[in-house]
């Protein structure tokens, strides 16, 4: 009988230690839907989780708008923030409407240069990646035009040629001068690509 009680106590102690190990693990769960970011931090440490969560949300939005950033950038930045707030070695889980370790971004089309494919004012879902191919619609930062949404026409190494879908040419007269109005064609660097449009 005494052996059974000792065995039961050992098993109970092992279960308690295992439970403390799994329960005591700090974790940060980040979810992105393209526009919004939600963060949940689970810890038994005495830290300001509200401030940490707010900092992670702000940082994630910055990453979403940075053409050079990706999911690795996001994870590393979240780890740095956790360390700064005293939450070291936390498990970080990044999830999104596109799946784990993906960064979706909702972008609004401005203009008619992508007609008939995309309409002025339309919202599109972007997957933040530099993994592109000819024919993809991408969002990019152009030195000449600023933020643009165009179709990939050619890829030569890191040089990417972008074109408009709208091939119409029109003419406007401004102060007696006639100007040709047509879609943009431009070259950008691969690092200037913010991501690929995956739903519209």
Q: What is the pLDDT of residues 22-45, one digit of tens each?
A: 456 899 999 999 999 999 999 998
Least confident of 18-27, 70-79, 180-189: 18-27
Mean pLDDT (whole number) for 102-129: 95
Query: For the whole model, what pTM was predicted?
Result: 0.76
Tokens of 51: 């401030």
Q: Residue 169 class from Cβ within 10 Å (0-12 exposed, 13-18 middle, 19+ buried)?
A: exposed
- Using 50, 70 and 90 to split pLDDT, how confident is the model at 164? very high
Q: Which residue in this structure is represented by tokens 């179709």?
A: 151
Q: How far apart are the first and last CA of the chain?
A: 70
Q: What is the pLDDT of residue 178?
A: 81
Q: What is the pLDDT of residue 22?
A: 47
**Nearest one of 157, 127, 162, 123 to 146, comparing CA atoms:** 162
Mean pLDDT (whole number) for 83-94: 95
Mean pLDDT computed over every residue of the chain: 89
Mean pLDDT (whole number) for 49-72: 93
Least confident of 61-65, 174-178, 185-189: 174-178
Which 3 state secondary structure label does DSSP give 59?
Answer: helix
Q: What is the pLDDT of residue 183?
A: 83
Question: Cα torsion at 68, 33, 55, 47 (round to 10°)?
Answer: -130
- Using 50, 70 and 90 to split pLDDT, how confident is the model at 135? very high
Mean pLDDT (whole number) for 114-121: 95
- Give percent of the chain with pLDDT exceeding 90: 74
């Amino acid at each position: 009988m005494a052996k059974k009680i000792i065995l039961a106590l050992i098993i109970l102690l092992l279960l308690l230690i295992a439970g403390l190990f799994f329960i005591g693990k700090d974790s940060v769960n980040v979810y992105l839907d393209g526009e919004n970011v939600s963060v949940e931090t689970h810890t038994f440490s005495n830290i300001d989780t509200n401030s940490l969560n707010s900092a992670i949300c702000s940082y994630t939005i910055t990453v979403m708008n940075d053409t050079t950033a990706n999911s690795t950038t996001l994870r590393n930045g979240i780890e740095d923030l956790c360390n700064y707030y005293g939450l070291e070695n936390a498990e970080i889980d990044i999830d999104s409407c596109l799946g784990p370790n993906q960064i979706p971004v909702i972008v609004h089309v401005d203009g008619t240069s992508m007609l008939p494919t995309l309409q002025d004012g339309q919202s599109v879902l972007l997957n933040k990646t530099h993994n592109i191919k000819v024919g993809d619609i991408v969002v990019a930062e152009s030195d000449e035009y600023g933020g643009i949404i165009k179709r990939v026409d050619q890829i030569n190494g890191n040089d990417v040629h972008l074109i408009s879908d709208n091939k119409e040419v029109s003419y406007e007269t401004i102060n007696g001068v006639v100007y040709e109005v047509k879609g943009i064609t431009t070259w950008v660097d691969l690092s200037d690509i913010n991501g690929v449009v995956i739903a519209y």
